[in-house]
């Protein structure tokens, strides 16, 4: 256990553990010695506060001190990291989508400085933003240009999801652009039991472009459009009418929305010139752009996604990562446009049809079990010597719902003990 010696405000040296609690004195360790709980508590609290201040000061030093290089090893960090105050002083007059940020308003300046410092402080997160941008930003920027939207809109998915497809909020917003269900469906996204296109980069970006067009037509300002994207267009319009101003920086809005736009500006400032803020990455440090080909898959019925992976000569995991909108282990009946690894589309259809026909004709090792009176999912799993979760996956079952006599349960290929089990 590490011991830290600190001085309390009265000049008394106190030895503490990393939790801030003082070691008991020899007298206190004696069972017959009188105890002074209030005094011990006071010393422990003082030591804890002192330790907290020490850690805070240490972090401040780490963020401003020069970073040493080990030999010839390259680093993602520069030789020195600009101090937070220096970063604020060198900041030029910012804007969002060409609309100036009024730094002459003291509260706006203070709030922007806060968002800028919070971003710069979280160095690992900013580095991940920059690295992920190499993978996704090319498509987002191309889509914005194609539809005539300002390039600054590309920073929205960074603060919404950190460019992660599976992020979900407590309010039900999902995906790169954090659409809630109703808004996503209004702008053409499929959100169903088997597919959620909010997780698909291409579909969700198309929907976001459409939504921002609608918001800009309604509010005639990209700053207000971004605010409406966060709080909803009806809520923002109500505030504009109630406060009799359409100047975002003069509107009193929910604190989250007030921070939202200035956080966008802060992210733009950092990612537009990362070296100014101490982030120096080379081209090879960025994650490579998505490499894929598109294939059409026609499903006569619900089929395992694993068949697509096998036809593409890759793993189930790779197909799921290229197509994060697919929920679960099966493709629904109908037509699907899927992404497969680069080079996998050649002869894909022939391989897929062969695998599909073998699967439809129930090859050896795949059985249909008819549920009998007294059966349970656990007893069926034990009978065929398979894990219960596998049985749930193969049959798309909800474990909270009962099965009934006559139901048909699939036990897939490779299952142990099938030959010994009887219907």
DSSP collapsed to 3 states, 112-174: HHHHHHHHHHCHHHHHHHHHHHHHHHHHHHHHHHHCCCCHHHHHHHHHHHCCCCCCECCCCCE
DSSP E strands, 255-372: 292-299, 303-304, 330-331, 334-341, 367-370
User: For residue 315, what is the DSSP state?
Assistant: -
Its pTM surpasses 0.75: no
pLDDT attached to residue 360:
84
Spatial CB neighbours of 259, under 8 Å, sequence gap ≥ 6: 111, 115
pLDDT recorded at residue 14: 44
Three-state DSSP class for 237? helix
**Neighbouring C-alpha atoms within 13 Å toward the C-beta of 70:** 3
- For 87-119, the pLDDT digits (tens) are 666 557 899 999 999 999 999 999 999 999 999
Residue 250: what are its φ and ψ, rounded to 5°?
-105, -5
3-state secondary structure of 252: coil
Q: What local confidence, expressed as pLDDT, does residue 364 receive?
A: 55
CA dihedral 381, 384, 390, 391 (to 10 degrees): -60
Sketch the domain layout of the chain as residue ranges. 4-64, 84-285, 292-360, 367-420
- Residue 408's φ and ψ, nearest 5 degrees, are -110, 125
Strand partners, 367: 411
Instruction: Kindly report the number of other CB atoms within 10 A of residue 93's CB atom.
Output: 9
Q: Is 80 exposed, middle or buried (0-12, 13-18, 19+ CB in 10 A)?
A: exposed
Which CATH number is correct for 367-420, 3.10.350.10, 1.25.40.10, 3.40.640.10, 1.10.1040.10? Answer: 3.10.350.10
pLDDT at res. 16: 45
Closest CA to 157 of 264, 271, 258: 264
User: Domain 84-285 is in which class?
Assistant: mainly alpha
Which tokens belong to 304? 């395992």
What pLDDT is stored for residue 402 in this prediction? 85
CA 380 to chain centroid, in Å, comes to 38
DSSP 195: B
**392: which 2 tokens?**
């749930």
Phi, psi of 112 (to 5 degrees): -65, -40
Q: Which residues contact 272 (CB under 8 A, 6 or more apart)?
A: none
Q: Which residues of the chain have pLDDT under 70?
A: 1-91, 362-365, 413-423
Long-range contacts formed by 189-194: CB under 8 A, 24+ apart = 190/325, 192/332, 193/327, 194/302, 194/326, 194/327, 194/328, 194/330, 194/331, 194/332
In this chain, the answer to whether the domains covering 84-285 and 367-420 adopt an identical fold is no
Interior angle at CA 99, CA 211 and CA 82, nearest 5: 105
Terminal C-alpha separation, the chain: 61
Structure tokens at 358: 């073998």
Residues 274 and 281 sit within 8 Å (Cβ to Cβ): yes
Question: Who contacts 150 (Cβ-Cβ below 8 Å, separation ≥6)?
Answer: 97, 98, 144, 222
Whole-angstrom Cα distance, residue 227 to residue 211?
13
Assigned token pair, 361: 């004709």
- Residue 134's pLDDT is 95
Structure tokens at 154: 């590309």
Q: Return the pLDDT at 362.
A: 67
**Residues linked to residue 191 through DSSP beta bridges, in sequence order:** 196
């Amino acid at each position: 256990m590490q011991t830290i010696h600190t001085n309390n405000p009265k000049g008394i040296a106190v030895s503490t553990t990393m939790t801030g609690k003082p070691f008991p004195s020899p007298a206190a360790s004696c069972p017959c010695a009188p105890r002074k709980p209030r005094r011990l508590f006071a010393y422990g609290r003082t030591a804890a506060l002192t330790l907290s201040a020490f850690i805070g000061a240490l972090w401040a030093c780490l963020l401003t001190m020069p970073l040493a290089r080990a030999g010839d090893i390259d680093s993602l960090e520069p030789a020195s990291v600009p101090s937070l105050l220096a970063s604020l002083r060198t900041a030029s007059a910012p804007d969002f989508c060409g609309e100036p940020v009024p730094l002459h308003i003291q509260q706006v300046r203070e709030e922007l400085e806060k968002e800028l410092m919070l971003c710069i402080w979280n160095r690992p997160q900013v580095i991940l933003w920059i690295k992920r941008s190499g993978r996704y930003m090319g498509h987002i920027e191309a889509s914005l240009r194609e539809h005539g939207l300002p390039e600054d809109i590309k920073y929205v998915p960074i603060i919404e999801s950190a460019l992660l497809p599976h992020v979900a909020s407590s309010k039900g917003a999902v995906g790169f652009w954090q659409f809630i269900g109703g808004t996503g469906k209004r702008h053409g996204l499929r959100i169903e039991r088997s597919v959620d296109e909010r997780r698909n980069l291409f579909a969700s970006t198309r929907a976001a472009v459409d939504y921002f067009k609608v918001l800009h037509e309604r509010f005639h300002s990209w700053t207000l459009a971004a605010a409406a994207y966060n709080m909803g267009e009806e809520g923002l319009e109500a505030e504009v009418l109630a406060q009799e101003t359409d100047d975002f920086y003069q509107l009193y809005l929910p604190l989250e929305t007030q921070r939202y736009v200035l956080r966008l500006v802060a992210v733009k400032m950092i990612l537009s010139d990362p070296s100014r803020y101490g982030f120096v990455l080379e081209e090879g440090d960025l994650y490579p752009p998505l490499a894929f080909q598109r294939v059409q898959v026609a499903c006569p019925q619900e089929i395992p996604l694993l068949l697509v992976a096998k036809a593409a000569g890759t793993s189930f995991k790779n197909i799921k990562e290229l197509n994060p909108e697919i929920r679960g282990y099966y493709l629904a009946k109908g037509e699907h446009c899927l992404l497969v690894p680069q080079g996998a589309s050649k002869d894909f259809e022939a391989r897929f049809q062969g695998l599909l026909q073998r699967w439809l004709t129930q090859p050896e090792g795949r059985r249909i079990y008819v549920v009998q009176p007294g059966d349970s999912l656990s007893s069926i799993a034990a009978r065929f010597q398979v894990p219960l979760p596998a049985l749930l996956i193969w049959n798309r079952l909800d474990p909270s719902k009962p099965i009934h006599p006559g139901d048909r349960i699939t036990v897939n290929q490779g299952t142990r003990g099938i030959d010994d089990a009887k219907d």
